Amino acid sequence: MANAVEAVVVFGMRARAQIVSIIAGCIVALAPACVHAEEGFDTEHIFGFMIGTDVGNLGEREFQSQTTGRFGKGGGTYRAIGQEVEIEVVPLPNFRIEAGGIVTLHDITGVPDIDDRRQLNFQGASLDLRYRLLDREQAPFGLTVAAELHGDRIDETSGAKGRMYGTDFTLAFDRELTPNFVIGALNLIYQPEWARFEVSGLSEKSSTVGAAFAGMVRLRPDFLLGGELRYFRQYEGIGLGEFAGQALFVGPTAYYQISERSRLTLSWSMQAWGRSAGSGANLDLVNFERQQARLIFGVNF
């Protein structure tokens, strides 16, 4: 009996020692995360299809590679993959400039109202200007205004040759919902575009307005996970003329800080609901794609 009691006591002491060791190990593992998390969020690059209000530090320079895939239309096979390279600089406090060029691969077969083609072409160039009006560390929320100007020789959707010009205006807001742990962002978007196609000689004007919301949670000091919800309405004419269609995109986003100077963002969205003008379908596959994906790699230099 005494031996049995002694065995139980010894077992209990060993189990308690193991539990204490495990708890101590967890505290040690989490302690660096807590210290690192005190630095807060840098929202400049953590979103996939959206933007945050941070614009980088004065004198900062970055190289960025952005791959965007768009898949699925109303029928047939539709794939459009764009590879963009960009250089970002911060010449003044709260002001960022980004210049880039994009090459696009189109693989289109049997899609209604779009000619079949399989081609790889230089699409065009872009200039992105951002100015931060409010710093969320000193105000109730962050606020940045952005304008991305682009000129293209290839239509982004159809791959047809021509001259295309457009500007993406974005009003970005963000705020830490739980300090150092959860952050939310809101984008309000207006995108007027002009196009003149080479073969047909036709000219088109269109505009898109939208609102997007994102939430990101810090799971580790170097890893964020969340999602983006984006709603768009497209119109004919740059002044929001005749309604053409609408779509709601939903999907996850992940951000990984590879090192002190490099980062990776991955985002995927599917069209959860939509409707083109004059259609009773539950998706708008005339003006928008069924799925969109984006991979972003950046490095400071």
**Residue pair 209/226 in contact by the 8 Å Cβ criterion:** no
List the pLDDT tens digit at each of the 301 positions of the chain.
Answer: 444 334 433 334 444 444 434 433 433 333 333 334 446 899 999 999 999 999 999 999 999 999 999 999 989 999 999 999 999 999 999 999 999 999 999 999 999 999 999 999 999 999 999 999 999 999 999 999 999 999 999 999 999 999 999 999 999 999 999 999 999 999 999 999 999 999 888 999 999 999 999 999 999 999 999 999 999 999 999 989 999 999 999 999 999 999 999 999 999 999 999 999 999 899 999 999 999 999 999 999 9
73-108 pLDDT, tens digit per residue, is 989 999 999 999 999 999 999 999 999 999 999 999
In this prediction, residue 127 carries a pLDDT of 98
In this prediction, residue 39 carries a pLDDT of 66
In this prediction, residue 40 carries a pLDDT of 82
Which domains does the chain possess? Answer: 39-55+120-259+267-289 (2.40.128)
Chain Cα centroid distance, residue 267: 6
In this prediction, residue 201 carries a pLDDT of 87
In this prediction, residue 200 carries a pLDDT of 85
Looking at the DSSP assignment, which residues form a beta bridge with residue 174? Answer: 142, 185
Give pTM, 2 decimals: 0.86
Close Cβ partners of 158 (under 8 Å, ≥ 6 residues apart): 106, 108, 114, 115
In this prediction, residue 220 carries a pLDDT of 96
Chain Cα centroid distance, residue 294: 7
115-168 pLDDT, tens digit per residue, is 999 999 999 999 999 999 999 999 999 999 999 999 999 999 999 999 999 999
In this prediction, residue 171 carries a pLDDT of 98
**Residue pair 133/124 in contact by the 8 Å Cβ criterion:** no
